[in-house]
Amino acid sequence: MKSPIKKPTKPKKQRPSPRIYIKINNGQFEILGMGAWYSYWRDPYHLLLTIPWSGFIVLICTFYVAINTLFALLYLAGGDCIANAQPGSFLDKFFFSVQTLASIGYGAMYPKTTYANIIVTIEAMIGLIGIAVMTGLAFARFSRPTARVVFSRVAVITPHEGVPTFMFRTANQRRNFILEAHMRVYLMRDEITAEGTFIRRFHDLKLVRNQTPSFSLSWLLMHPIDEFSPFYGMTAEQLLQTNTSIVISLSGIDETVSQVVHARHIYAANDIIWNSRFVDIFHHSNNGHRYIDYKHFHDVLPLD
């Protein structure tokens, strides 16, 4: 027997990827819409996690009113199907729907026809699912770990131990510990390969110390500019011409919530100040102790 001839299937049409626009603002690359809540309109879960709290509450209230309005109209379509409700009263049907959706059940109004009992059953199931979903979303929003870490507004290049060194500093704004804090720093710039192809390349910056067992106050990060450094031989003008950016990623375990937290910062070429040093924020008190004055955390001084 001959096998049946299968008709060739048409290949599925693939939608072209939307354009993603990249804007260079003061030397920093900005991906338009990156991280904005409205960019997740095709992903409802991420949309509800990233939308501001005011928008989240408004959205939930709108949905709640809409679903009760829908069921109130269904009860109205069933005629006099709710006991002790005024015939044709939208408000009575609406508030009966509210009681059913929230599983309140005062008992003053109740279904008295098969049609009404079917609608109540459907609404009760939707209510159970809706309460579970809303509770999960609210918990997910509240339980997201966040790091309150501040980075100095500028970075400096200054001699340290006789070697030009790229420096920036960061501080933990919470009065707790970030355990096993780990810092990764990358230099990102425009380059032309040996084949003449344009490429945006990342380079790892080796730090004098890239991790600490407990990050609680301030942390000064240093990268020596030696012959192995991507900074080596570059000038401030070359950093601007190549659209150089310094990408910083901090991760660690928040001692309070015992969860991993992240922080991220970017320095553009314009944010790097040459031949300057940070103002010292550590001071000695009159009783022999020390204190930190964060008032000058972002300040720098030119070298003499």
CATH code assigned at 218: 2.60.40.1400
pLDDT at 39: 59
Whole-model pTM?
A: 0.69
Tell me, yes or no, whether 126 and 166 share the same domain.
Answer: no
- Rounded Cα distance, 177 and 192, in Å: 43
CATH code assigned at 66: 1.10.287.70
Interstrand relation of 155-160 and 272-274 (parallel, antiparallel or unpaired): parallel
24 in a domain, yes or no?
A: no
21 in a domain, yes or no?
A: no
271 in a domain, yes or no?
A: yes
Tell me, yes or no, whether 120 and 205 share the same domain.
Answer: no
Span 184-233, pLDDT tens digits: 999 999 988 888 889 889 999 999 999 999 898 899 999 999 999 999 99
Place of tokens 């939208």: 90
Span 171-184, pLDDT tens digits: 998 888 999 999 99
Res. 66 pLDDT band, cuts 50 70 90: very high
Backbone angles phi, psi at 195, to 5 degrees: -85, 0
Tell me, yes or no, whether 291 and 239 share the same domain.
Answer: yes
112 in a domain, yes or no?
A: yes
**How far is Cα of residue 109 from the mean position of the Cα atoms in its chain?**
46
Tell me, yes or no, whether 273 and 138 share the same domain.
Answer: no
Residue 250: count of CB within 10 angstroms of its CB: 23
Tell me, yes or no, whether 109 and 197 share the same domain.
Answer: no
12 in a domain, yes or no?
A: no
Q: Strand runs (DSSP E) across 231-302, as ranges?
A: 245-254, 259-268, 272-274, 276-278, 282-284, 290-292, 300-302
218 in a domain, yes or no?
A: yes
Nearest to 264 by CA among 278, 275, 248: 248
Domain that holds residue 232: 149-302
Res. 40 pLDDT band, cuts 50 70 90: low
Tell me, yes or no, whether 164 and 292 share the same domain.
Answer: yes
